[in-house]
Amino acid sequence: MNNSKKIAAIILGAGKGTRMKSDLPKVMMPLNGKPMIRHIIETLESLGADKIITVIAPDGQMVAKEVAPYETAVQEKQLGTGHAVLSARKNLCGFEGDVLVIFGDSPIITRETFLKAVQKRREGYAVVVLGFRPQDPARYGRLIMHGDELKEIVEYKDATEEQRQINLCNSGCMCFDSSEMFELLGAVSNENAAGEYYLTDVVGIANRHGMKCGMVECSAEEVAGANTREELALLEQYLNARKGR
């Protein structure tokens, strides 16, 4: 376990805005007058992140320009979320500390929540996942807890009837110990229906290696993502309500 107090962040920003019916990359869609990804960058700056890396698509020059002077890593092929995070491995060479993994279309997670995840990670967990309880758990992956420990994340389609009754869901956002992160990601396989490397598999892998995983809960509004223009409009409402507008 590392004892460094440094914080790095990897923002996954390689998604296309197809469901937004826009030519813009998804993370460049405007939210309250600025690109979604700018909100995340500003939050990370406010908590004093030591390193911010954005994973972009091969044609992601527009995103690279938006996040400059911060670094980018190119995900050559979209082979899943685990693969996307691995794309940033070189950028974190020699880094010791906590690494936040953030989806670029979840732009309104607060500084306090990120810091809570980091704090929890520093209590001796290899991985900490941000969980939430949506009104409609629908298709979200479920967090399988055993006391204070997170045992696995089960995708909705793979969940048993009993597991589907669980309303604690995976937001996608995680915090890792840098010293174990890439070893865990390297153990993720793509033997699944989609042939993709899922970031969520790291929890089961960590548990099998005798490492502890934990969870920090936040509100459903805070981790809301935007895949469509309707969802983007909802995010604006949440943001404005938070600012008391």
Is residue 229 part of the annotated active site? The answer reads no
Residue 151: name the closest of 140, 138, 141 by CA. 141
The residue annotated as part of the active site, out of 19, 111, 139, 245, is 19
- Nearest-CA neighbor of 62 among 35, 39, 42? 35
CA dihedral sign of residues 95, 118, 35, 10: positive
d(CA 27, CA 66): 10
**φ, ψ at 227 (rounded to 5°):** -105, -20
Q: What is the 3-state secondary structure (H, E, C) of 60-78?
A: CHHHHHHHCCCEEEECCCC
Which helix H or strand E contains 207, and what residues bound it?
Answer: helix 201-208
Helix, strand, coil tally for the chain in percent (to 5): 35, 25, 40
Q: Which residues are catalytic?
A: 19
